[in-house]
Amino acid sequence: MNPRGGMESMTDKLFQETLFSFLGEEEPEAIQDTGKGKKTTASTKSRVASKDQKKTAVSVTKSEPETWELNTETIIRYGGENIPLTDYFTPEEITNGLPDSSPTDEQTTGDNAEVKLRNITGEDVRKRLENDFGELTEELTTMTFIKEKNMIIPVLTARKKGSGMILDRRHGVYLKLEDAVANRRSNMYVPGADGHMYHIRETEALTICKRARKVPSVPALVEGVRLKFPRIPWGILTQFLIVARYFARTHGAEVHGEIYWGEEGYQLVIPAQIVSRDMCEPTEQVAYVENVVKVMEIHSHHTMEAYFSSQDDRSEQAPILYAVVGRVLDFFPQILVRTCLDGEYLIINPHIVFESPLESPTNLDFPQVFVKGAGDDDTV
């Protein structure tokens, strides 16, 4: 029986309640014991292993057992807690050693067979710890010993792919709050339902939760859109501009179009609709065709500027492209493009979406044109 069990369960319950209090209005759910062992408690001792200490740490995987000079005062530092080695080994085992698991024939013959003892190794310690800390598996754990501190430190060095967690020595990134409870770190990062990552910081006196400014061990991402199909040809946009100019010049009205991608490439469709000076409303849906994908809805603003109105915001909620063309009677009309995700809009550079007839190669050579202020060898 583990003598620390009663205190452990009390402090563990307190930690769970503290962490789950950050769930806001929802009732905190109790975490069920998976049977893999106890969870650690916060310790009032300081963090171990300074830079100098790290230099003197001896890795079990690279050291002989006799380099581990263990005694009944040796402690195990894990999960922010100092655990006595005597919690897992008897004083006799620590002082005299463990029975050798593979005695020789000479040792096992006769009535006076002698049992050979050997020093406790890091693997011995890990195996017994694994009964209480299921994450300390052989493939994921490196055991280190700091002689000056008389301290054993299990370090999780890796995680299986697809575990849903990233665990480092002092921080962890989790998909669920339950994982943070079961695999505690000083700095924990958990996503919230509002779409933000939250930083939970464990100190000796406090557990703090606030929106994270950055998250370690994950790649930096940028907002953007990438078409899965080729860019929309200039000819498709020109077809719509011809229709938009007709309705602007003849009726002073807007018009709505839809651009689809299929086996034949892009196609512009002008569906049945009601139009006026300040609106265009489709009256029927374009018939579904297998393997044909709607890529964009586009509408015109005749002589007005290109902008997305409040009515557009209410209507354009799908994760497709939306475009508005303004001042369609000008030689160069205005055009804006955006998409929608989770009710929010992302403005997109039209060059990403449409081909342009004005695009030119970058290797043009005009030696007869001198650029003032440029180097002697620079030409346009």
What DSSP string describes 298-316? EEE-TTSPP---HHHHHH-
Q: What is the pLDDT of residue 31?
A: 35
Segment 206-218 mean pLDDT: 92
Locus of tokens 């849903």: 164
In this prediction, residue 246 has a pLDDT band, given cuts at 50, 70 and 90, of very high
pTM of the model: 0.56
Of 235, 53, 247, whose CA–CA distance to 152 is shortest? 53
Q: What residue ranges define each of the domains in the chain, with the CATH number in brackets?
A: 5-211 (no CATH), 234-353 (3.40.140.10)
- For residue 277, give every residue at least 6 positions away whose Cβ sits within 8 Å of its Cβ, in sequence order, or none: 252, 253, 254, 302
Residue 240 has pLDDT above 80, yes or no: yes
In this prediction, residue 18 has a pLDDT band, given cuts at 50, 70 and 90, of low
Q: Calculate what percentage of the chain has a pLDDT beyond 90.
A: 52
**C-alpha 330: how far from chain center:** 47
- Choose the most confident range, by mean pLDDT, from 48-52, 84-88, 215-219: 84-88
Segment 99-103 mean pLDDT: 71
More confident residue, 297 or 206: 297
Supply the DSSP symbol for 56: H
List of E strands, the chain:
58-59, 75-78, 81-84, 98-99, 117-118, 141-146, 151-156, 165-167, 171-174, 187-191, 197-202, 207-211, 256-262, 265-269, 273-275, 280-282, 293-300, 321-326, 334-341, 344-348
pLDDT tens digits for range 313-353: 999 999 999 999 999 999 999 999 999 998 899 999 999 99
Q: What is the pLDDT of residue 15?
A: 62
DSSP letters, 350-368, are: HHHHB--TT---TT---TT
Alpha carbon distances (Å) from 292 to 259, 262, 267, 271: 10, 4, 10, 16
Of 196, 158, 189, whose CA–CA distance to 173 is shortest? 189
Of 64-68, 129-133, 226-230, 252-256, the poorest mean pLDDT is in: 64-68
